[in-house]
Amino acid sequence: MKTTMRQTRLGRLTGVRGFTLVELLITTALVGMVMAGLYVMLASSQEAYLVGTNQVEAVQNLRLGVDRMVQDLRVAGYCPTCSNACTAPFAAITAQSATGFTIQYDWNADYNCGTGAGINTTGSVNYLGTGTQRGENVVYAVTGTNLTRREIGLDAAPVVLASGVVSATFTYLDANDVVTTTSANIRRIAIAITAQPQNQPAATQQGRASVSVQDSVRLRNRLQ
């Protein structure tokens, strides 16, 4: 009786079928393909997120710097004493190059059209009689990867307005929108700057991004 029961149990066990090696290999391959697809999808999503985040950072960083530059340029050459009697007012833009320039103003209204004297290039002056000190020379420059601004007489050193600058070009045009190298003839400045996020890793392409900002500013105080 016992022998018969043992044989029956063994028969039941040997009658149960398992997975063959081929089936296991096929299943493993299918699971691997699914996992690979999920990895690619997740990696793409992560990179898209990083690119978007880095672009927003770069745009905000660069836009703030360019906006400040545009504000300064719009009032470049301010000269309340020039009027129509001054046939040759001082140059609103000097020391111009592809990567920088100096803006001049006459904030304290002491410019002399006859002698050409009155622009303070070393110190600060009383701003429009308000008691506030302002510099009559403002220097913009791209140094290394930084866009900087220095107001002569107030800033001991250049102040960084934007970082991560990859390239920058300033183009100077006359009243006819022709490129000029003569300071006195500059009537418009075209700005083109490309920058990357400040903390973007250099060793990997994942999430790398760059943005470009272009602008054009006419000098309101030098329209002719």
| Lowest-confidence pick of 58-67, 117-126, 174-183, 185-194 | 58-67
DSSP conformational letter for 90: P
Neighbour count for residue 187 (Cβ, 10 Å): 20
Query: Tokens for 103?
Result: 């803006």
Entry pTM: 0.74
**Would residue 65 be called left, alpha or beta, if left means φ above 0 and alpha means ψ between -120 and 50 degrees?**
alpha
Separation CA 205–CA 194 (nearest Å): 18
Q: What is the pLDDT of residues 116-139, one digit of tens each?
A: 888 999 999 999 888 899 999 999
**Sheet hosting strand 137-143, strand order edge to edge:** 93-97, 100-104, 137-143, 146-151, 159-162
Cα 182 to Cα 95, 103, 152, 185, 186, distances in angstroms = 10, 14, 23, 5, 7
pLDDT of residue 21: 77
Separation CA 73–CA 97 (nearest Å): 15
Q: Kindly report the average pLDDT of the chain as a whole number.
A: 83
pLDDT of residue 219: 95
Average pLDDT over residues 141-150: 95
Specify the higher pLDDT residue, 30 or 70: 70
Buried b (16+ CB within 10 A) or exposed e, 8-35: eeeeeeeeeeeeeeeeeeeeeeeeeeee
